[in-house]
Structure 1
Amino acid sequence: MEAVRVFRTRGMLAQLCHNARCFRLLSTLTAGNKRQKLQDSMTRPRVGFFYKTVMICKAHLNTASSTLDSSEIKKFQALANKWWDQHGEFAALHSMNDLRVPFVRDNLLNLNGGRKSGFPLSGYKILDVGCGGGVLSEPLARLGACITGIDPVEDSIKTAQLHQSFDPFLDKHIHYKACALEDITEEAMETFDGVVASEVVEHVSNVESFIKCCHKILKPEASLFITTINKTKLSYVFGILVAENMLKLLPKGTHEWEKFISPVELERIMESNGFSVKSIKGMLYNPISGLWSWIDSTAINYAIHAVKEKVPPEPDYCRSEDKDQPEDRT
């Protein structure tokens, strides 16, 4: 029994010694790690604060230049699955195609000389900004154009893609993307032959930034088409009180009169940002017949067509100076 006790005691002592050695080793390693971390902190560049500051500044700049209005996105999010109900909230937009599709087609063809048979817009690359469920994108694609449709409401894009999927022709001619205009501006510089923003500018937060983005992505001498609502007493009465409150053609709150813009102001913004306005036409919606017609007055709705001005080449000063030099007759 005594031998057993001695053996157990020696075993316990050995275990204690082993534990002590492990503890010392662990302490050494920990101290080493702490020293290494201290050295690293002394030698590593302190970029954390600078990086965060830059990112905050970039976020502020992006917000400042954004054309998006979060309240407007929420409005259309609630309507995302109703785009193709031709008797619902978007009935007037479906009917507007009778005017706006020929308006885009004819101005593009007149600008570029003549009319093509078959698919008249074949070869044209058109951006449909705020495309929603594709109500305008589809008829333009059926004319042969290659359409890119963008909208910040992802569910609206999903609705457009679903409707497009039933027609193989449209699948080849339309590409939809859930994004804002400024999201593609840099990657699509001078890409498009035409940009269409139909019933969009009255929903953006910064019209001038929006127009500048349109200018960047258009090719020289390409076209910008806008349909929108004038800022008049008549537009308030018929565009909001009658259309939304009385006839319930649109959900209440769809439009805000303060965001409407007059054709004079829109033309000023466009021409100060490199566009030449070619035509402005008044539009009128008849809620009884459900049809649109062109009219002389722009007091309520109107359409505008502008062309991106071609920047003249800079003069070759070296060549002109050479011409001014007298000839050497020696």
Structure 2
Amino acid sequence: MDRSSWKKLYSTSQTVDSKEVKTFQALAHSWWDEQGKFAPLHSMNDLRVPFIRDNLLKTSTNHDPGKPLSGMKILDVGCGGGLLTEPLGRLGASVVGIDPVAENIKIAQHHKSFDPVLDKRIQYRVCSLEETLNENAECFDAVVASEVVEHVNNLEMFIQCCYQVLKPGGSLFITTVNKTQLSYVLGIVFSEQIAGIVPKGTHTWEKFVSPEKLESILEPNGLSVETVAGMVYNPFSGYWHWTENTSLNYAAHAVRARAQEHLEPAESA
């Protein structure tokens, strides 16, 4: 299928869940409170920023140690208030942060305005991923979807859109929650309903996706999985650490093939 056909196919498609939008509208004011509702996402940067940086640098021979991602263009999908967008900008990347929640983008725009350097490197837009296809096909060196895929309506469509906006050889980075009984007990019952670590209603267990399921969608859609690593959050210390166990949270890195491919979107069941 050629590029114009892809654009036509996704011009009316929706990966955004309106219920999820309402949930995050109510939380928008909390993004930059490091001790508040998004505290686990703030501390997750200790893992996800180096994970993105180090994997991108494997493909780069020349880089400025002070700005290692200089010259790279990154799309941060579901950027929220910019918690991950800003660190990537500080590493020298040109970052486009998109989010369907206007309140999130307003907060992100305001926060980056305090740093003139970030103000130049980061652009924010209120839109869905599929709405970026017209102007951004094969445009980005990397797409980041951190704590996002467990909120989308149509995961396969979302992955197909990621493929389309990536340059050949570009990287897709995903962090998400595995779909296990343990993730239900700890991620929803304990974290949301008992301890209040995560706001109630943030997650829907049916939308959680296992690494195996994610790979089964990525590979047929032109994205080869390079790395999958487990992540664990300690609610008492407030820190994350890497683990071989992926039964709770995990990070994945996939790469679009360098050879030009014209993939047919899978037919809906």
Do the structures match in fold with TM over 0.5? yes
Between structures 1 and 2, the one with greater helix share:
1
Task: Supply the AA of the counterpart residue of 1:274.
Answer: G
Aligned residues: 255
Give structure 1 regions of 4+ aligned residues with deviation exceeding 6 angstroms: none
Instruction: Give the C-alpha shift of residue 171 in structure 1.
Output: 0.3
1:188 aligns with 2:139: no
* 2:10–2:130 CA contact under 8 A, matched in 1: no
Counting only pairs closer than 5 Å after superposition, residues 237-276 of structure 1 correspond to structure 2 as 237-276=185-224
Q: Root-mean-square deviation (CA), in Å? A: 1.7
Instruction: Give the C-alpha shift of residue 187 in structure 1.
Output: 1.2
1:125 aligns with 2:73: yes
Q: Which residue of 2 aligns with 1:176?
A: 124
The equivalent position to 2:33 in structure 1, one of 80, 85, 92, is 85
Between structures 1 and 2, the one with greater strand share:
2
Deviations 1:133-162 (CA, angstroms, capped at 9, x unpaired)? 000000110000000000000010000000
Give SS of 1:128's match: strand
2:186 and 2:61 map into 1 onto residues whose CA distance is 38
- Larger CA Rg, structure 1 vs 2: 1
Distance 1:60 1:276, change over 3 A: closer
Distance 1:84 1:258, change over 3 A: same
Instruction: Give the C-alpha shift of residue 246 in structure 1.
Output: 1.0
Structure 2 unmatched ranges of 5 or more: 1-7, 263-269
Instruction: Give the C-alpha shift of residue 61 in structure 1.
Output: 7.4
Instruction: Give the C-alpha shift of residue 115 in structure 1.
Output: 5.4
Task: Supply the AA of the counterpart residue of 1:123.
Answer: G
Instruction: Give the C-alpha shift of residue 311 in structure 1.
Output: 2.3
Give SS of 1:272's match: helix
1:96 aligns with 2:44: yes
TM-score of the aligned structures, taking structure 2 as reference length: 0.92
- The more displaced of 231-240 and 305-314 is 305-314
TM-score of the aligned structures, taking structure 1 as reference length: 0.75
Counting only pairs closer than 5 Å after superposition, residues 1-330 of structure 1 correspond to structure 2 as 65-113=13-61, 116-311=64-259
Give SS of 1:75's match: helix
Instruction: Give the C-alpha shift of residue 66 in structure 1.
Output: 1.1
Give SS of 2:89's match: helix
Give SS of 1:187's match: helix
Instruction: Give the C-alpha shift of residue 81 in structure 1.
Output: 1.0
- Indicate the percent of aligned positions where both proteins have the same amino acid: 60
Distance 1:237 1:114, change over 3 A: farther
Structure 1 unmatched ranges of 5 or more: 1-58, 315-330
Q: Which residue of 2 aligns with 1:30?
A: none
Q: Which residue of 2 aligns with 1:11?
A: none
